[in-house]
Amino acid sequence: MSYQDIKYELEDGIVTITMNRPDVMNALSENLEDEIHAAFDDADANPDARVIILTGEGAAFCSGYDQSPKKDGQKKGDPTGRSIADFIEGWQRNDSKISDKWVHMWKLGKPIIAAVNGWAMGGGFWYQLAADLTIASDKAVFAQPEVRHISNTSYLFTALCGWKSANRWGLTGDHFDADEAYRIGMVNEVVPHDDLMTRSKELAARIALVPEPAVRLNKAIAMQGLQASGVNASLLLEGALGALAHSSHNEHREELYKTMQDEGVRAYLQMRDGPFQPEPMGPRSAAAIAARKKQK
């Protein structure tokens, strides 16, 4: 199968799926997401494949869902010309599709390692949460900045890291680095950037030493047990509350949309995130900015 927005490689039983939209920091378009999950299915059906690695091309793992306006010039969150019921129902369908993508990952017999090579924001943040294992480059940066324009975090973050950590980062959209991600239990390992793929493939190779039925069944024990313990019900509630968040509008959000329409995505992001800068961690933190100035 040929792909437009991903690279697919099978070597020594390891499938590497690389999100390949580096010009937009691997932002999730509908086609990119469709190809990711088609590739997951291809790998899962291939008896020669044992483990899947998901990573990104360039400086980002994935910057989240594409914020570009639609071809008709409308933003997906623009309620103009739609009834309140239709608008909220549309967001419920949208958010349900997102959580269905995570459940799809959990149903695969092959484990997925997220190799986070850089920025993991919004939807990209969620993908590495949903992976079975996560290894982060020491250059990785994590955040859910979408909460700053009235959007939602995910219960997966709470389930994995606890409600105190989830609230610290989910209530602000602040950036945090790979060491903090490791401290709160969100990633399994942090490695030097140049060693990321080597280490990810080493772990994949060790998993592949275990008989395939054992890997498949033990993944099912973990993931089906997680769902049976209440995660599925929590995701249903998240979808309903997320739809309300996405459907909410105030003066600031209207100003954001107008800025995007008049000046583009970059101006929109600066208007949204500017008041939060410098970030507490990562390359946009005060410490990182000072270090770059010192180097000059």
Structure tokens at 11: 């070597």
The model's pLDDT over 12-65, given as tens digits with 9 standing for 90+, comes to 999 999 999 999 999 999 999 999 999 999 999 999 999 999 999 999 999 999
User: How far apart are the C-alpha atoms of 177 and 186, rounded to whole Å?
Assistant: 11
Higher pLDDT, 86 or 152: 152
Q: What is the pLDDT of residue 74?
A: 57
Q: Is the pLDDT of residue 276 over 80?
A: yes
Per cent of the chain over pLDDT 70 is 95
Average predicted confidence (pLDDT) for the chain: 91
Is residue 25 left, alpha or beta, with left meaning phi > 0 and alpha meaning psi from -120 to 50?
Answer: left
The model's pLDDT over 240-267, given as tens digits with 9 standing for 90+, comes to 777 777 777 777 778 888 888 889 888 9
Query: Whole-prediction pTM value?
Result: 0.91
Q: What is the pLDDT of residue 71?
A: 63
* Domain-located, residue 257: yes
User: How far apart are the C-alpha atoms of 8 and 54, rounded to whole Å?
Assistant: 10
Q: What is the pLDDT of residue 232?
A: 84
**Minimal CA–CA distance to 65: which of 38, 44, 39, 91?**
91
Q: Is the pLDDT of residue 67 over 90?
A: no
CA distances from 180 to 250, 276, 282 (A): 33, 19, 10
- Tell whether the torsion through CA atoms of 288, 133, 122 and 24 is positive or negative: positive
* Domain-located, residue 1: no
User: How far apart are the C-alpha atoms of 223 and 259, rounded to whole Å?
Assistant: 42
* Domain-located, residue 99: yes
CA distances from 267 to 151, 270, 271 (A): 19, 5, 6
Count structural domains, the chain.
1
- Banded pLDDT at 75 (limits 50, 70, 90): low
Q: To which H or E segment does residue 74 belong?
A: none
Q: Is the pLDDT of residue 69 over 70?
A: no
Q: Is the pLDDT of residue 238 over 80?
A: yes
What is the span of the domain harbouring residue 145? 6-295
The model's pLDDT over 187-214, given as tens digits with 9 standing for 90+, comes to 999 999 999 999 999 999 999 999 999 9
Dihedral through CA 142, CA 96, CA 3, CA 17, nearest 10? Answer: 40
Domain at 270, CATH number: 3.90.226.10
Q: What is the pLDDT of residue 158?
A: 95
E strand spans, 105-264? 112-116, 119-121, 133-137, 141-143, 176-177, 189-191
E strand spans, the chain? 6-11, 14-19, 51-56, 60-62, 112-116, 119-121, 133-137, 141-143, 176-177, 189-191
β-sheet with 14-19: strand ranges across: 6-11, 14-19, 51-56, 112-116, 133-137, 189-191
The model's pLDDT over 111-169, given as tens digits with 9 standing for 90+, comes to 999 999 999 999 999 999 999 999 999 999 999 999 988 788 899 999 999 999 999 99
Q: Calculate ∠ Cα 139-121-197, nearest 5°.
A: 40
Q: What is the pLDDT of residue 79?
A: 62
Structure tokens at 209: 């030493």
Q: Is the pLDDT of residue 68 over 80?
A: no
